[in-house]
Structure 1
């Protein structure tokens, strides 16, 4: 049994196709098939049910894939040990960022990080929290930046900052006269929300549930982006809540629509998250330190109340 054979097994399990798996592993399809067949012969079992289209794992194959993923991860740790011993920070690093964090945080740190660590080949994807958790568990992401806590046994969280929510209240809205608002002022009946699948939406709903035992899911209007929510709010269709960093991009003429919360301000916790196997920690540490150093100058809030991003 070899690490290479296990890598081939994991590729087939992911792609459910021998040809695609071979392309992913940069080998010919006969080479990959021969090595997997050798492993099955050695173990005297079938890992894959080749009669199914697409290919499926057998019951014992599912157990083997789970263990193979652990073994391959542990073998990757050897390179991590060598890199850290040499003080080398480089190589491919796959980072996921949720949509409500990507447009504000990424421009703040990306240029500096690339300049400081030119040997790191960053591959950044905008993904939902659900997609991030799945890819971290499967080893398809090295780390991610997301709203926490997520309470997932496979994932470790390292808090970067706490980002308060700020109300965006258009003209002629019932709260427009207030200098500061409280959570009890919020009503989902006149609030614009992000569409289902965004953790920010769940956070806002959880915030409003503090003062209501039951909330119907018949919201007035939903959108896929914060920018669209602002535009719809300007049309008088309701108010919305913005993460603090998004308020920095609000046009000067619209700043009067921003109303802060009374202390303690509701806020989201933003963290670097990664698999509990802790691979590529030297790059994760570098990423964490770079973002932390920059964000301290942008967010100075401390008296906040963290709102969970978990759907309830």
Structure 2
């Protein structure tokens, strides 16, 4: 069944006249007659009573007319819905983000994006960096924020933040007053690390090993605030991104640069190369690239 068969049939039924229908449709009358006859042959029924001057519907024709109106309305709704999505009048974006760190980047971006596209729904779910990739693999999020490196063959990336890790120590620590320290000088220090599901755990551990020692772990936590509170309580030191350290003015901690080695901390938005990205997701990514806040370290 061709959608044009229904369109032509509905117009003839509506106007009860082939000539008027042809004028509305801008199609020749013979073409309309042929199309409706093919619909009747396909259904095996007579839809129109052509015996009188004014065309009328048969009983079966009345039934088909009612259903044809519903089908044509559904087709129109479908077209309108697709058009709204393509032109970003509505849509949905689901994004996996890192707790706390993403708060440095996204509140202002989301506010601006929602003003521009008020009918696009944005869902943001917090995961550790390692779990972001897992959620992407399972198709639970459209894209996410994680720590580089990732497989560039498997993932497309958009750079968000590039900065260094710094040491934070309590207010009575021997490093207070120092601006920098080599990582090797921290060999005997008790470390407060993030748990192993955090990429930061691996980054710090590998940097220490490459500097000739394994860190002495005093505590491990999955909570940023708790980590920093423990440092302020003189329970150990920690290595965190500089942007996070800059937010700790409310705590009695001292920030010390790592002079050697430089420990890079790079955040990126990632998405699967082999998965379709919706119009809304693509526009949100483009908006992030164009409106990323100009913060130190970017």
Offset at 1:172?
2.9
Which residue does 2:118 correspond to in 1? 118
* Higher share of residues assigned strand: 2
Q: Once the two structures are superposed, what CA deviation does each residue of 1:112-136 show, in whole Å capped at 9, x if it has no partner?
A: 2222222221111111233322221
Summarize the Cα distance change of 1:283–1:147 in structure 2 as closer, same or farther, 3 Å threshold: farther
Deviation (angstroms), 1:108? 3.9
Distance between the aligned counterparts of 2:179 and 2:294, measured in 1?
A: 25
What's the RMSD between the two structures over aligned residues? 3.0
Counting only pairs closer than 5 Å after superposition, residues 159-308 of structure 1 correspond to structure 2 as: 159-187=159-187, 189-212=189-212, 215=214, 219-251=217-249, 254=252, 257-262=254-259, 265-280=262-277, 282-300=279-297
Specify whether residues 264 and 291 from structure 1 end up closer, same or farther in structure 2 by C-alpha distance, changes over 3 A only. Answer: farther
SS in structure 2 of the partner of residue 134 of structure 1: helix
What is the aligned length? 218
Is the Cα contact below 8 Å between 2:194 and 2:221 reproduced in 1? yes
Q: 2: CA distance between counterparts of 1:83 and 1:155?
A: 29
Structure 1: runs of 5 or more not aligned? 1-78, 302-312
Instruction: Verify the 8 A CA contact 1:137 1:154 in the aligned structure 2.
Output: no
* 1:37-57, Cα deviation, whole Å (9 max, x unpaired): xxxxxxxxxxxxxxxxxxxxx
SS in 1 for 2:197: coil
The 1:287–1:86 alpha-carbon spacing in structure 2 relative to 1, beyond 3 Å, is closer
Gaps of 5+ in 2: 1-78
**1:35-83: CA deviation from partner (whole Å, max 9, x where unpaired):** xxxxxxxxxxxxxxxxxxxxxxxxxxxxxxxxxxxxxxxxxxxx9xx77
Which has the higher Rg, Structure 1 or Structure 2?
A: 2
Mark the CA change 1:288 to 1:263 in structure 2 (over 3 Å): closer, same or farther. Answer: farther
How far does residue 268 in structure 1 lie from its aligned partner after superposition? 1.1
Per-residue Cα deviation, 1:87-117 (whole angstroms, up to 9, x for no partner): 4364111100123523433334222222222
Q: CA deviation at 1:250?
A: 1.4
- Which residue of structure 2 lines up, in the alignment, with residue 151 of structure 1? 151
Q: Aligned residue for 1:104? A: 104
Shift of 1:193: 0.9
Q: CA deviation at 1:281?
A: 5.9
Q: TM-score, normalised to structure 1's length? A: 0.60
**TM-score in terms of structure 2 length:** 0.63
> What is the Cα deviation at residue 158 of structure 1?
2.2
